[in-house]
Structure 1
Amino acid sequence: MSSYKSFAVVGAGTLGLPIVNALAAQNVSVVLLSRPGASVKTVPATVKVITVDFTDVAAVAAVLKEHKVDVVLSTITTTTAAAQTSLVEAAKLAAVKLFAPSEYGMPTEGQAEGFLGAKNQIAADLKAAGIASTRFFVGNFTEFIPWLVGYADHGKIRIVGKGEVRVSFTSIGDIAGYVAYVLTTLPASELENRIFRIEGDRASLNDLGLLFTTSVEHVDEITGDDGFLKTLLLGLVDTGAGSTGWDEATKTEGLGSQAAGSANALWPGHQWKTIKDVHNL
């Protein structure tokens, strides 16, 4: 069993709330930190919801101290990942033992630019602050495939690049369950300053045409709502960075403990959801 008994989850969005529910099911102490003005969230009765300004270091630290928090899990969105700086400062003031920054996507180790670089910088900030970190690389949310490739809009798979490289996809439920399981079962020595590379399914973007039984169109950019973000993500995926085994330094797939899905085995007996499972294909 893990020595960590008290958890604080920052943010209750797409992944935050499922993680809260999964942790609560492990019978540990959980507090949810929510921004002022955020919509009311339905959480298990054992979870206390606390409204606090994430940029107010003293206020966040006070909450963490009051609830004797061992582990902070940040789930704030990709586009605001750099805002975690104040959370790191608060965690240091509160003597938090472990911090899981808002990764939950493509590998960021070795990245220096853009939102991936911003995430990697937070890991560096944690190290500088003397706080142990746990990073979860999950690839792409399986549920978001129709949004990413435009299937939800026009029934086709529209991608940037060749679409030939294999991509990691993991469902939100699997991510939340995995995070809660390892944080509450593994000893601290196996969690501190570790990277967990998980993967629910693996497919190229071209493969999605067969899975969704539709055509694949290759374009230079995605237009419309979130077009810039989709173009950016698809471009990264086409380099190989969409795999949880991606090694930015060598631009290759990692091996052994660095391979995509290498950390799946730490959740023994779990049946990972495939793309077909999630989308009822």
Structure 2
Amino acid sequence: MSVYKSFAVIGGGTVGLPVVNALAAKNVAVVLLSRPGSSTKTAPPGVQVVQVDLTDTAAVAAVFKEHKVDVALSTVGRGGVVAQKLLVDAAKLGAVKLFFPSEYGMPTDIVGASTEGPLAAKNHIAAYLKSVNIPSTRVFTGPFIEFIPWLVDYSDGGKFKVVGQGEVQISFTSITDIAGFLAYILTSLPPSELENRVLRLEGERTSLKDLAAQFKTSVERVDSFPGEGGQIKTALHNVIEAGAGSTGWDWAKNAEGTGSNAAGSANALWPGHQWKSIKEVHNL
């Protein structure tokens, strides 16, 4: 049985707001931290929304202390990953017991210290959490099922644009399942099953080529994606082509992990749950 009673979710965006809703449905104390000037968040009854400068360590720590936060879950976007170091400092000052850094994507563990980019930045935050002795939980989900059309520049009647061959297996997980999983484990499992763990989810496993068939279309191979967001899409496709689209990817061995390091191994922590399929999410 969980001993965690109070939760803070940092960021009310793609992942943050669903997590807030899932936790609130468990009738636990939840506070949502958002940046001053950000769009107004519609939170469930009983959830307080606090606008606070997320780069002000003392101010964030004060919110943690006021609400007696046991667990802080960062869901900041790509641009805020590096700044999480300040949130970790705030968690230390606020006596937070467990910190979930913003992962919710492809595996970022065992990336070389000299490696740059978003995957390395996330790994650096995990290392910083360890250095300041705050227990943490990292959750790898693979790409969101809901974002598949964005990932491949798909629109009805179009083709899937793919960098590479599109034949590598990928772990996809829905945002709804991610939020529900977090709410379940945080209100059901003891700290020993969560602290300093890497949890690897997988809603459905498939390749971009086979995925195109589900959408009743075909693959168009491209060298890169142009326009806004093109650089990050191209980078993601290159990571996928290397094998790391699977949540079980082992960067050190350049191969799939096994046992507790296998793709989807953490699904068992939510017994009896039926994970959403790509077909279900996209009404295929």
After superposition, residues 64-75 of structure 1 pair within 5 angstroms as 64-75=64-75
Taking every aligned residue pair, what percent have the same amino acid on both sides? Answer: 66
How far did 1:155 drift? 1.8
How far did 1:78 drift? 2.1
Q: Which residue of 1 aligns with 2:252?
A: 249
Q: Any idea what the Cα deviations from partners look like across 1:121-174, whole Å, max 9, x if unmatched?
A: 000010011100011000000000000101138721000011111000000000
How far did 1:183 drift? 1.1
Find the residue that maps to 2:83 and give its secondary structure.
helix
TM-score (ref. length: structure 1):
0.98
Find the residue that maps to 1:117 and give its secondary structure.
helix
One-letter code of the match for 2:83? A
Contact 2:9 2:31 (8 Å CA) reproduced: yes
1:236 aligns with 2:247: no
**What is the aligned counterpart of 2:272 among 269, 273, 277?**
269
Q: Which residue of 1 aligns with 2:212?
A: 209
How far did 1:68 drift? 0.5
After the TM superposition, which segments of 4 or more aligned residues of structure 1 sit over 4 Å from their partners?
A: none
How far did 1:116 drift? 0.4
Q: Any idea what the Cα deviations from partners look like across 1:32-65, whole Å, max 9, x if unmatched?
A: 0010001111111110100100000000000100
How far did 1:208 drift? 1.6
Pairs aligned (count): 281
129-138 or 71-80, which deviates more:
71-80
Contact 2:157 2:217 (8 Å CA) reproduced: no
How far did 1:255 drift? 0.6
Q: Which residue of 2 aligns with 1:52?
A: 52
One-letter code of the match for 2:14? T
Find the residue that maps to 1:26 and give its secondary structure.
coil
151-160 or 212-221, which deviates more:
151-160
How far did 1:225 drift? 2.6
Find the residue that maps to 2:7 and give its secondary structure.
strand
Q: CA RMSD in A?
A: 1.0
How far did 1:79 drift? 3.1
**What is the aligned counterpart of 1:140 among 139, 143, 153?**
143
Q: Which residue of 1 aligns with 2:125?
A: 122
Separation of aligned partners in 2, 1:127 and 1:120 = 11
Q: Which residue of 1 aligns with 2:31?
A: 31
After superposition, residues 143-182 of structure 1 pair within 5 angstroms as 143-152=146-155, 155-182=158-185
One-letter code of the match for 1:126? L
- 5+ residue gaps, structure 1, are none
Q: Which residue of 2 aligns with 1:103?
A: 103
Contact 2:209 2:218 (8 Å CA) reproduced: no
Contact 2:9 2:30 (8 Å CA) reproduced: yes
**What is the aligned counterpart of 1:221 among 224, 230, 235?**
224
TM-score (ref. length: structure 2):
0.97
One-letter code of the match for 2:275? W
Q: Which residue of 1 aligns with 2:262?
A: 259
**What is the aligned counterpart of 2:200 among 189, 197, 202?**
197
Q: Any idea what the Cα deviations from partners look like across 1:225-263, whole Å, max 9, x if unmatched?
A: 311111011111110011000000011000111100011
Q: Any idea what the Cα deviations from partners look like across 1:58-89, whole Å, max 9, x if unmatched?
A: 00000100110000000001232111011000
Find the residue that maps to 2:22 and give its secondary structure.
helix
Q: Any idea what the Cα deviations from partners look like across 1:103-131, whole Å, max 9, x if unmatched?
A: 00001001232100000000001001110
Contact 2:19 2:179 (8 Å CA) reproduced: yes
Q: Any idea what the Cα deviations from partners look like across 1:18-42, whole Å, max 9, x if unmatched?
A: 0000001111110000100011111
- 5+ residue gaps, structure 2, are none
76-85 or 19-28, which deviates more:
76-85
Separation of aligned partners in 2, 1:193 and 1:123 = 9
Q: Any idea what the Cα deviations from partners look like across 1:154-203, whole Å, max 9, x if unmatched?
A: 72100001111100000000000001111111001111001110110011
Separation of aligned partners in 2, 1:101 and 1:10 = 10
One-letter code of the match for 1:244? T
Separation of aligned partners in 2, 1:188 and 1:151 = 42
